[in-house]
Amino acid sequence: MPIPVIDLSKLNGEEQAKTMAQIANGCEEWGFFQLVNHGIPVELLSKVKRVSSECFKLEREENFYKSSTTVKQLKELIDKKKGEKLENVDWEDVFLLSDDNEWPTNTPGFKETMLEYRKELKKLAEKLMEVMDENLGIPKGYIKKAFNDGEEEKAFFGTKVSHYPPCPHPEMVNGLRAHTDAGGIVLLFQDDEVEGLEILKDGKWIDVQPIPNSIVINTGDQIEVLSNGKYKSVWHRVNAKPNQTRRSIASFYNPSFDATIAPAPQLVGEGNNGEAHGEQGYPQFVFGDYMSIYTEQKFLPKEPRFQAVRAV
């Protein structure tokens, strides 16, 4: 069963209502869906693929095999000849691009391309948040405003460039261990061909099938809280592969650290328009407090995180 594929270009035409409903369904029933015809130029996406892969080859790969803890630990485990699995590390190379950190400098075209890409992806994130506002029946701009703590441009927008290099023993280590995402909305540009990402759907792990130039969308724990549980963050993981490098570029639109997050009042109890919603199922908290807990508990069930942040 493939995850829903939604044609975003239909959002502005005759099929608007249908497309809105598809997105609502993707958020409510899946927590993950893929967008095609999302408006990000294919030429830009091609450049993103090229510079990211080049950057990995040029600036990261050698170091990954030489000095990553994961590679060392896997070697040790193989030497011990025990059929165990590494539970505390991931077989991935990752770096983060944000507005205020250092970016790789030795790959021609990397910075210009990724600056442009991030601008496009942020716009797409903002558009999707407005669609979610409307689908949830909360005021237009509600989610963005909550994440920005009521100000302009305070939310965090980060882009994580990941590579999952070939792994000699994919049965002994995960590419990325199962987790739900901490923040708001995630826009993932995954490899055209090499699969590996899976989501937990009705108790079964299913593939997020690669579709060239599509953008995979998923929602994190903060959207779950804000929607009072209507849009649940979904467990996902990446499997390591024996022969190929998988590239994956995830952009996160998250609350600013000092933003207060709570269920939207319109989605609690009777709400504003008399519609019956559940009782408030989540606490109110400051996102930075949630992140301190998440950093310690990322690969554990999320419910205790909501409990722990209640007690802060």
Positions that interact with ligand OGA (CB under 6 A): 160, 162, 176, 181, 188, 190, 197, 236, 238, 248, 250
Where b means 16+ CB within 10 Å and e means fewer, 184-223 reads: bbbbbbbbeebbbbbbebeeeebebebeebbbbbbbbbbb
Q: Closer to ligand OGA by CB, 174 or 190: give it.
A: 190
Neighbour tally for 45: CB within 10 Å? 21
Minimum distance from residue 115 beta carbon to ligand OGA (Å): 20
Helix then strand count (H, E) for the chain reads 9, 13
User: What's the DSSP call for residue 97?
Assistant: E
Under 8 Å CB-to-CB from 260, ≥6 apart: which residues? Answer: 146, 149, 284, 285, 286, 287
Q: CA separation (Å) from 156 to 34, 143, 159?
A: 23, 13, 10
Q: Which is nearer to Ni ion, 91 or 142 (CB)?
A: 91
Query: What distance in Å separates the CA atoms of residue 278 and residue 54, rounded to the nearest whole number?
Result: 49
Residue type (1 letter), 8 = L
At residue 285, what is the residue type?
F
Binding partner of 160, given Ni ion, ligand OGA, none, CB within 5-8 angstroms per partner class:
ligand OGA
The entry of ligand OGA, Ni ion, none near residue 228 (CB within 5 to 8 angstroms by kind) is none
Nearer to ligand OGA, 133 or 181 (CB): 181
What is the sign of the dihedral through the CA atoms of 215, 217, 220 and 222? Answer: positive
The smaller minimum CB distance to ligand OGA, of residues 181 and 224, is found at 181
Nearer to ligand OGA, 80 or 204 (CB): 204
Write out the binding residues for Ni ion, residues 156-185 only, by CB under 5 A.
181
47 near 113, Cβ under 8 Å? yes
Measured from the CB atom, the residue of 90 and 120 that comes closer to Ni ion is 90
The binder of 197, among ligand OGA, Ni ion, none, by C-beta within 5 to 8 A per type, is ligand OGA
Spatial distance between the Cα atoms of 183 and 181, rounded to a whole number of angstroms: 6
Residue 224 in contact with Ni ion, rule: CB under 5 A: no
Distance in Å, CB of 217 to ligand OGA, minimum: 12
Pick the closer one to ligand OGA by CB: 4 or 210.
210
Q: Which of residues 181-220 bind Ni ion (CB under 5 A)?
A: 181
- Shortest distance (Å) from residue 134 CB to ligand OGA: 26
Q: Which residue of this chain has its Cβ atom nearest to Ni ion in the complex?
A: 181
- Nearest approach in angstroms of CB 186 to ligand OGA is 7
Q: Which amino acid is at 251?
A: S
Q: Which residue is nearest to ligand OGA (CB)?
A: 248
- CB under 5 to 8 A by kind: which of ligand OGA, Ni ion, none does 190 bind? ligand OGA
Which residues are at the interface with Ni ion (CB under 5 A)?
Answer: 181
